[in-house]
Structure 1
Amino acid sequence: MPEDPKPRRRQARGERRISQLLQAAAAVFCANGYTASSTNAIAREAKVSPGTLYQYFPNKEAIAVELGGRLIHEMRERHGQVFTPENTALPLPELIDAVLDPMIEFNCLNPAFLALMHGSDVPGRIAEEHDELHASLLRQVRELIGTRAAPGPSAEELDRIADMAFAVFKGGLALIVAAPEGPARDAAVDELKKVLLRYLAPLFTGEEAAVTTPPTR
């Protein structure tokens, strides 16, 4: 007998509804923060009744876990695309572009990632996955710097350099995401790259010349 297409149609409708609810949750989390958000606000944003929302998610925490899990999965995929042997071999200015541009693009397209991950009472499961992601990214930054740095830095120094570079990136990223799209955001991106270039160039063999001296006024 031919397969009944109705279950597949119902499944497809369910997936679309879940996506609709998660998009609404992302908007609400960005506007209000995780703590101040509610399922009623998410339902209003999605233009559905609270009852419809509860058919798919029992509470706000379940929504955050699903949304956060999807965003973390996508972020992990981005990491795999930027920390490659090909990128590691690039001259430092191009290396900074190759690593930062995809990460900045992801966070600008998904501002809910920062809003959710930095919530004071973000669900424990998401906090744990975020901590694992943070540790993995920091480890990759350290390995990249260790591969390209001129001979000399000790393991302790490499840890400190990686911590500082990553902290600079996170601080600059918050300013970039908060900036309006257009010239202001582009200028913030340029400033972040300039800071990282000037910080890392003395550590990379032969890269000091990549840093141009700013004109005197």
Structure 2
Amino acid sequence: MHAADGQPRRRQARGERRIAEILDAAAVVFGDVGYEKATTNAIATAAGISPGSLYQFFPNKEAIAQALADRFVEQMGRAHRDAFERTNFATVDLDELLDRVIDPILAFNLANPGFKALFARPDMPAGLTGAAAPIQAALLGRVESVLAARAPALPTTDRTRAARTLVQVFKGLLPVVLGAPAGEREVETREMKKVLRGYLAPITG
């Protein structure tokens, strides 16, 4: 009886491991060749399984991308929490604030090249847009909370506009940082922070 009880759990655990392996492989393939050029055969090869085995878990590339997007969103949510929930934004030095907010998000993007392949596409499918929307809204809200802590007299509409500008500037400079050679990345990161600091300092005093 105990063996029978344990067998479904072992099968479930093996299935979950296989799904994780497929998603890991898909992240690599998407990061290497982009979403459009990626194929289920290439993902299966990277995962070390046959295409038939892959299709036991995912019917097509779009389903893999959706599952990977969901995982990325969850991981990015943790990166945002690490960035925004452990700092007293009202009192911390502005340079330290930028370090604490930007560094975890950069680290996530560097560790997950497939994230850009899915979410930086100009023709992102509706399903992926929906997956990314909550995390983008949360990021905007967290930036607004930073501005509210550092500039409480700033009107709400100005705060929202400033937060939106900061997020767009960060997103615009992100490819420069991610695309820099490893030896130059720290320099490009400092340049990004310099730009953001230049915008923030007059607002926050």
Global fold match (TM > 0.5): yes
* Higher mean C-alpha deviation, range 184-193 or range 158-167: 158-167
Aligned residue type for 1:201: A
Q: Secondary structure at the match of 2:56?
A: helix
- Tell me how far apart the structure 1 counterparts of residues 52 and 124 of structure 2 sit (CA, whole Å): 24
Give the deviation of 1:163 after TM superposition.
Answer: 1.8
Rounded to whole Å, the distance in 1 between the matches of 2:188 and 2:109 is 14
Alignment of 1:91-170 (within 5 A): 91-149=93-151, 151=153, 153-170=154-171
Question: What is the Cα-based RMSD across aligned positions, in Å?
Answer: 1.9
Please name the residue that 1:201 is paired with.
201
Which runs of structure 2 are paired with 1:76-95 in the superposition (5 Å)? 76-84=77-85, 86-89=87-90, 90-95=92-97
Aligned to 2:54: 53
1:62-73 correspondence runs (5 A): 62-73=63-74
Amino acid at match of 1:190: R
Q: CA deviation at 1:78?
A: 2.1
Deviating beyond 3 angstroms after TM superposition, the runs of 4 or more aligned structure 1 residues are 120-123
Contact 1:34 1:122 in 2 (8 A): no
Residue 66 of structure 1 aligns to a residue whose secondary structure is helix
Residue 38 (structure 1) aligned with residue 39 (structure 2): yes
Equivalent residues of 1:149, 1:204 under 8 A apart: yes
* Secondary structure at 1:56 match in 2: coil
Q: How many residues align?
A: 203
> Paired residue for 2:191?
191
Aligned pairs (5 A) from 1:163-178: 163-178=164-179
Residue 16 (structure 1) shift: 1.8
CA distance in 2, matches of 1:23, 1:150: 43
For 2:124 and 2:63, the matched residues in 1 are separated by 11
Q: CA deviation at 1:85?
A: 6.6
Contact 1:146 1:158 (8 Å CA) reproduced: yes
Kept in 2: contact 1:78–1:102 (CA 8 A): yes
In structure 2, the partner of 1:214 is none
Show the counterpart of 1:74: 75
The structure-2 alpha-carbon separation of the partners of 1:92 and 1:38, relative to structure 1 and needing over 3 Å to count, comes to: same
Specify the structure having the higher radius of gyration (Cα): 1
Q: Which residue of 2 aligns with 1:19?
A: 20
Q: Which runs of 5+ in 1 are unaligned?
A: 206-217
Q: What amino acid does structure 2 have at the position aligned with 1:202?
A: P
Q: Distance in 2 between matches of 1:202 and 1:150?
A: 14
